[in-house]
Amino acid sequence: MLRVLVFTSCVIAAVCASALAGEEGAPAPAKPGKYQVGPTREYKTLQDVAAKLAPGDMVEVDGDAMYPGGVKLTVSGTAEKPITIRGVRVNDKRPLIEGADRTVEFRLSNYVVFEGFEVAGGKRNGIYHHAAFITIRDTLVRDCPGQGILGADNDSGSCTLQYVEVARCGGGLYTHPIYMSTDPVKFPNSVFRMEHCYIHDGGGGNAVKSRAERNEIYYNCIEAGFYRELEMIGRDSEAGPRPMNSDVVGNLFIKKSEHPVVRIGHDSKGLGSRGRYRFVNNTFVLSEQAKIAIQAYGKLDAVEMHNNIFYCMGGGPVQVLNEENAEWLTGKRVVSGSNNWVAKGAEIPKEWKGTKEGAEPGFVNADKLDFHVALRSPLIGAGTMKPESPEGHEFPNPLFPPVFEPPMRKIENPGGGQERWDNGKNNRKIDIGAFQCQLLQGLVDHLSDMVDRMIVKVHKACL
């Protein structure tokens, strides 16, 4: 009996050991690793660790130091275990990756988070997105004669930019500070989301150009594109899924050239996104030379606009929607809009309802580019809380109400951003535009505190 018990115990132990080691004696999965890169570390460059990475790994790169460009990441994480490459500030300075043809490249390296860096001087691209499920956060991309950030047409999927600044990138007609695309066949339903970003002083092209299947452009400041501030258009091929939709909410656009602020549909006749475009609570600031806010070109389905400001510096009317070269899928234009503000004399869509007109919208100081809402502005509480799509052309999964304001020409720290309080939760209607009246918020908060203190005093007096 004792021999049987000993034999059985040995068998159980052997089976457990085999299970721990994996099938056929394979080692157990490795725990995520952590690599440190810096001038005084074992690994001096990101190139030293790029090929060693595995799902779940963390790379920390010391700041206040410069590292060579030409970083090529070819290893993927997973949805549950993304690879994180993080710059660690030293003396309040990010690590700088500089130079090379492509300074940083994600080549089929899916599920990667890249945050806390300064990327500069890429001859073709500062960052090349040739992968899927990439997040770029808390990063400055600057001084790239080619694209600052480029997305590949093939083998690319969803990409998210958060708290990213792109400055002085692009050149000529075809090289843009940000040029994003996704592959609708290999990665259907991909999304390009850009939020809390500051894009400015483009050297060429459009500040942000996208051929992604879906665009979510939320809470950004986009200023001084060489041509347009934003272009969201279809692919150059009709192959692949359609439509391609775009949701644009809570942005500040500052135009300094004579071109339209936004172009939608396509940049060529006969092609297009075939999609729906939605503009809500944005502030459009046009230069004195620019007269067109949104240009529709090529094939598209519908456009809706709610709670937006269309303002021209120096006064003067604006043509809100130019559809001279648009090709509407139904054969006639499909437009809706409500509670937008325009200067008197503006050319507005006939389908709009509740339009607010005036000489000035009531900014704090437009001459100093402070587009917050002043205390006595007609924009206060004048927005709609029920923005409606054109009938039969409902926008899929829209964002409303806007939760944040855009950065005021300066990037914010990750997780930061001024929250909007005029979102219906405080029994107050929403302000028109990308910014709320902060002074009014402060006054209401102060009065609320006073009332609370009085209630406490009264309660104590009654005891």
Cβ count within 10 A of residue 98: 17
d(CA 258, CA 261): 9
Q: Are 181 and 209 in contact (CB under 8 A)?
A: no
Q: Report how far residue 236's alpha carbon sits from residue 219's, in angstroms, rounded to the nearest whole number.
A: 28
Rounded to a whole number of angstroms, the distance between the first and last alpha carbons of the chain is 81
Q: How many other CB atoms are found less than 10 A from the CB of residue 145?
A: 18
Residue 263 and residue 295: Cα distance in Å, rounded?
A: 5
Return the number of other C-beta atoms located less than 10 Å from residue 329's C-beta: 17
Per DSSP, the three-state class of 150 is strand
Burial of 458 (0-12, 13-18, 19+ CB in 10 A): exposed
Q: Which two tokens stand for residue 49?
A: 């660790």
Are 34 and 26 in contact by the 8 Å Cβ rule? The answer is no
Entry pTM: 0.89
Q: What pLDDT was estimated at residue 416?
A: 87
Report pLDDT for 461. 58
> For the chain, how big is the Rg over CA atoms in Å?
26
Please, are residues 266 and 298 in contact by the beta-carbon 8 Å criterion? yes
Residue 422's pLDDT is what?
75
pLDDT at 11: 38
pLDDT score for 400: 96
| CA dihedral (398, 403, 407, 411) positive or negative | negative
Tokens of 64: 């206040």
Q: According to the model, what pLDDT value does residue 309 have?
A: 98
Smallest CA-to-CA distance from 67 within 91, 42, 93, 39 is with 39
pLDDT of residue 15: 39
Query: How many other CB atoms are found less than 10 A from the CB of residue 249?
Result: 27
Question: Which residues make Cβ contacts (< 8 Å) with residue 245, sequence separation at least 6?
Answer: 214, 215, 273, 275, 276, 277, 278, 395, 396
What pLDDT does residue 1 have? Answer: 40
Taking the chain (463 residues) in runs of 10, the rounded mean pLDDT of each run is 40 42 47 91 98 98 98 98 98 97 98 98 97 98 97 97 98 94 94 98 96 98 95 86 93 95 94 96 95 96 98 90 96 97 95 96 93 93 96 97 94 90 74 85 46 55 58
